Structure 1
C-alpha cells in the first residue's frame, strides 16, 4: 500500500552495508531523504546516486540524513561501492522488507514506459559511471521511490516512480528541504 504525505513514516532499524545502524526512530529531529533504488548493477540507479553525491555538501550542511536502499546483497553492494567512503548510508534489502514496508512496487509496464521517458540515455550515462562492470541482482521490474521525512517523522514527500528512472529532479528535491 502506498504511503502518503503527512502520515507518520513507518519506523525501521536496519544495518547498512558497513555494519552501522540506520534507525529511523533514532533520527528524530533530523530530516531524512529515503531513496529506494533497484540494485547495485542498475545503471539508472548508479546515475541517480551520482547526481545525489554531487549534492552531498547540501545534505551535510542542512543536517539531512540520506538512506539509500537497494535490493542487492551486502556483498554486491560492497563490490559496487568499493573502498570509497560516502556521506550516505547504503542499506542492502534483498528480502524486500523495507520495500514492502514502504509500498515500493514492481511493474513491467512501468519498466516499458521508461523506454519512452529517457531510460536509454540514463542507462548509457549510468554505465559510464561504474568503476567496473556490474551484474544486476534485484528484480528488473522494481520501480524506484523516494521519501522526504521531516524532523517530526512525518512524510513530507512520497514519490513513487511512474517508470524506471522517474526521480524527483534534484533542483526540486533541494527546494523541498
Structure 2
C-alpha cells in the first residue's frame, strides 16, 4: 500500500550502518526526510546522495533530519555510504521498503537519464559496483514526515533516477532554497 500526504508513517526503530539508533516519529526534528534508494553500489543513487550531501548543512538548518535506506547489507553499505553526512540504514530484507510501499519494477531502468547519471556516479566514485543485493530493479521513494509521524509529502519514483533533489525537500518543508545545484 502506498502512502499519501496526511497518512501516518509506519513507526520504526532501527540502527544505522554505524550503530546509531534512529526512530520514527522523531520529536527531535521538525521533519524527517526518508530516502529509499536501491542497492548500495548503485551509481545513480550514490551520485544523487553526493549532491544531497553537498546541501546537507542547509537541509539540516531547516530542521530536516535525513535518513537513507538501501536494500543492501550493512557490510556492502559501509563500502559506499560510510562517508555520507546523514543516517544510512541497511534493509537487506526490505522490511522498511514494504512498510512504506516502495517497490521494484522493470521501469527502474527505462530512462536515458539513468545512463548519464550512472556514468557520472561511476566517475565521481571512481569505482564500479561489484554486487547488486536484491537486484537492480528497485525504485526510489522520498517521504517528508513531521515530528508527529504524519506524511507531509511523498514521491514514489517512476525510474531509478526519479527522486527529490535538495530544493524539492526544502520546498516541501516550507523553506525557500538558498541556492540551486
**1:150 equivalenced with 2:159 (yes/no):** no
CA–CA distance in structure 2, aligned partners of residues 112 and 122 of structure 1: 12
1:36-81 CA-to-partner distances (Å, cap 9, x unmatched) read 0001110110011011101111122122111000011100011223
User: C-alpha deviations, 1:127-148, integer Å up to 9, x for none?
Assistant: 1122533222232111000000
How does 1:128-147 map onto structure 2 within 5 Å? Answer: 128-135=123-130, 136-147=132-143
Supply the RMSD in Å over aligned alpha carbons.
1.5
With the length of structure 1 as denominator, give the TM-score of the two structures: 0.90
CA contact (8 A) 1:29 1:152 kept: no
Residue number in structure 2 paired with 1:126: 121
Cα distance in 2 between the residues matched to 1:133 and 1:140 = 14
Q: 1:166 aligns to what?
A: 162
**Contact 2:81–2:88 (CA under 8 A) maintained in structure 1:** no
Question: Which residues of 2 match residues 107-126 of structure 1 at below 5 A?
Answer: 107-108=105-106, 110-115=107-112, 118-126=113-121
Consecutive unaligned residues in structure 1, runs of 5 or more: none
1:29 CA displacement: 4.9
Match of 1:87 among 61, 85, 108: 85
Distance, in Å, in 1 between the alignment partners of 2:81 and 2:45 is 13
Structure 2 unaligned residues grouped into runs of 5+: 174-181
Distance in 2 (CA, whole Å) between partners of 1:67 and 1:112 is: 24
Q: TM-score scaled to structure 2, two decimals? A: 0.88
> Residue in 1 aligned with 2:94?
96
Measure how far apart 1:95 and its partner are: 0.3
Return the alpha-carbon distance in structure 1 between the equivalents of residues 45 and 19 of structure 2.
Answer: 22
Q: Distance in 2 between matches of 1:50 and 1:61?
A: 18
- In structure 2, the CA distance between the partners of 1:132 and 1:124, relative to structure 1 (3 Å rule), is closer
State the distance in 2 between where 1:21 and 1:78 align. 16
